[in-house]
Amino acid sequence: MTTLATLAAFAAVPLRIGTAGLDQRVWAGVLVFGFVTLALGYLSFVRREFGAGIVLKAGTVLLFVLTLLSYFWPSRPWPH
């Protein structure tokens, strides 16, 4: 019985990360968008042999805006 309760407690941990009722930041979105923004920014602005076009550079800026939005958004934007 205690093993089942422990398993249920560990299964509920992802549901508590960034709970909308607590107005916490969604750190998973910040990390994912931030990592992808840094990777694409490096490829499009630093590595000249990659030959990035305007679409990839604009996409990097858009991902940076999404990173800021996910950092400053007060809670999850979807009901749960």
| The CA-based dihedral angle spanning residues 45, 46, 48, 49, taken in that order and rounded to the nearest 10 degrees | -120
This prediction has a pTM of 0.56
Phi-psi region of 73 (alpha: psi -120 to 50; beta: other; left: phi over 0): beta
> Region 4-21: what's the mean pLDDT?
64
Write the pLDDT tens digit of every residue in 26-68: 677 788 888 888 988 888 888 877 777 888 888 889 988 888 8
Does residue 33 or residue 21 have the better pLDDT?
33
| The CA-based dihedral angle spanning residues 50, 56, 62, 65, taken in that order and rounded to the nearest 10 degrees | 10
Please report the pLDDT score of residue 26 as a whole number. Answer: 65
Please report the pLDDT score of residue 46 as a whole number. Answer: 84
